[in-house]
Amino acid sequence: MRTIFLLPFFYFVAMTPVKSQEKALAKVHYQFTHVSDTTQRDRPLRDEVVLFLGQNSSYYRSFTEDKIKESLHAQRNVPNYDNHLVIEFSTTPIKNFYFYHFGDSTITDLESIASGFDLYYTETAFTIPQWTLLDDTKEIGGYLCQLATTDYKGRQYFAWFTTELPFQAGPWKLQGLPGLVLSAYDQRQEIVFSYAGFEPLDTKTEYEVAIPFYALKATKEEISKQRKVFEEDQGKYYELLNSSGRLAIGTSFYEIDYSKNTIDLKSDETYKPSFSTNNPIELSN
């Protein structure tokens, strides 16, 4: 059984200044697949993820909440809308997002607990993967790409990147190539980023390449304690959020009026992932 909490809007006044933010110039979508349980390889986790690109930085996160918002907006705008909304789940949102300022020796690791609106972040040391460029080329999404490989975090990765777009970045921690990564996977196909579209954004876009204002800085130990509270007693966790003034901004984002709408949650019956984890993305430091 899947539980979702679309929490009431709050006005968050403690806006913590972090690394410089900039407007997103473009975004790349990927279908992310992770065989987290090697005893059930036919039941991988999946999510649609997005990489926001700026001139000096990138921000990688789940796109699940955005897809839900798009679905709710479409449902509310049908001619016979009866104030009944349905949220269907066909993905498992990733828990770790990454903000990277190009060239830095650190990366900002953001961890979600209850949702993508409930984030804590830490600055961690970051070593750019050392890539070997190969001669292989192919077209992805209409862009000519070249293949590269690296041994990173206990896995051998292959990445197809293009120099036909004015960015040098990649999803997750796959940075350091002389172009934009459109597709990547590890040797065993246990971690896969499949290209799902590139979109340039104009200067009026609402998207920023930045750490969200509601993310709180914390140590890994503090985040682990918060996650333990959530896993053991969700009610207690939300009480702590409420008492601290840190209710998530879900309702504002989704634009839901609970007094006028009913919401049903529905799972995609074809998507049955294993939530056991014996095969994390990072197998070594």
User: Residues 121-137: pLDDT tens digits?
Assistant: 999 999 999 999 999 99
Quote the CA–CA distance of 62 and 116 in Å, as a whole number.
8
- Mean pLDDT, the chain, rounded, equals 88
Quote the CA–CA distance of 170 and 144 in Å, as a whole number.
16
Q: Is the alpha carbon torsion for 75, 76, 78, 82 positive or negative?
A: positive
Quote the CA–CA distance of 261 and 25 in Å, as a whole number.
36
Digit-coded pLDDT (tens) for 172-216? 999 999 999 999 999 999 999 999 999 999 877 778 999 998 899
Quote the CA–CA distance of 1 and 201 in Å, as a whole number.
37
Element (H, E) at 243: helix 234-244
Query: How much is the pTM?
Result: 0.89
> What's the rounded mean pLDDT across residues 130-146?
98
Quote the CA–CA distance of 135 and 223 in Å, as a whole number.
43
User: What value does the CA radius of gyration of the chain take, rounded to a whole number of Å?
Assistant: 19
Report the candidate in 265, 258, 250, 266 with the shortest Cα–Cα distance to residue 83. Answer: 258
Q: Which residue is associated with the tokens 């003034």? A: 245
For 64, phi then psi, to 5°, come to -60, -45
For residue 11, what pLDDT band results from cuts at 50, 70 and 90? Answer: very low
